[in-house]
A and B are shown apart, each in its own frame.
Chain A
Amino acid sequence: KQEVTQIPAALSVPEGENLVLNCSFTDSAIYNLQWFRQDPGKGLTSLLLIQSSQREQTSGRLNASLDKSSGRSTLYIAASQPGDSATYLCAVGILTGGGNKLTFGTGTQLKVEL
């Protein structure tokens, strides 16, 4: 059974810092990995998706990397802002049942302070 772990569970940083969120998974037979952001009580916003054949993806201040063989992904956030405060979830996907079945990590709760 796939298990996905995120470290740290919580993180508080001052505005402007660069930071790294970590995600590890136990079964490397994945199709893709997706990073999401979730604000309190809200749905999930997709940030980046990395296919298993890719090493990294970038969007604005966000960069996600994937090392499938070691079962790890990192999300790098540059020049953090208070608006980045949220819970960040990674999810590994496998193709099954005609869809992309995601198994979510435990999440990192980020707080960026002024």
Chain B
Amino acid sequence: DTEVTQTPKHLVMGMTNKKSLKCEQHMGHRAMYWYKQKAKKPPELMFVYSYEKLSINESVPSRFSPECPNSSLLNLHLHALQPEDSALYLCASSQATSGQGAGGANVLTFGAGSRLTVL
């Protein structure tokens, strides 16, 4: 299995709702990522998990709360979002690294994304 699966594909929510985006991979990757992509812009990194621990938070507002319950799953919990948070949210995974690198290619495999609209 060489895929990253994201659900739901589309999500519409109000500013007071609580929802979650889910991401799953079965490639044995131990690094997982959340990226945010606004229309006609490049993806921007939000979070990195390595061996199920949060290692990078790119100063993301606390209304976005990531969670990595096991090595195959990555969630992004959403609460009290703003309309400007509407975007395509992309999950990715790769081999994890340690020290100067694992010697692998560290290719990131991306999911198809979850399109979020905040009303």
Tell me if chain B binds chain A. Answer: yes
A residues engaging B (CB < 8 A)? 4, 31-32, 34, 36, 41-46, 49, 51, 89, 91, 93, 95-107
With A41-B88, A46-B107, A46-B110 as known contacts, state yes or no: A99 contacts B42, CB within 8 Å: no
A4, A34, A103: which contacts B108 (Cβ < 8 A)? Answer: A34
* A106 touching B42, Cβ below 8 Å: yes
With A99-B50, A99-B55 as known contacts, state yes or no: A43 contacts B94, CB within 8 Å: no
Q: How many A-B residue pairs have CB under 8 A?
A: 84
With A41-B88, A42-B113, A44-B43 as known contacts, state yes or no: A98 contacts B108, CB within 8 Å: no
Stretch at the interface among B14-22, B59-67, B71-79, B95-103: B95-103
Q: How far is the CA of A49 from the CA of B108 in the complex (A)?
A: 9
Main secondary structure of the interface of A (DSSP, over half): strand
Q: Nearest CB to that of B57 among chain A residues? A: A97
With A46-B107, A49-B107, A99-B31 as known contacts, state yes or no: A104 contacts B101, CB within 8 Å: no
With A32-B105, A96-B56, A98-B97 as known contacts, state yes or no: A105 contacts B48, CB within 8 Å: no
Q: How far is the CA of A101 from the CA of B42 in the complex (A)?
A: 14
A4, A99, A102: which contacts B97 (Cβ < 8 A)? Answer: A99
* B55 touching A31, Cβ below 8 Å: no
With A31-B101, A32-B105 as known contacts, state yes or no: A99 contacts B111, CB within 8 Å: no
B31, B33, B55, B112: which contacts A42 (Cβ < 8 A)? Answer: B112
Q: How far is the CA of A100 from the CA of B96 in the complex (A)?
A: 8
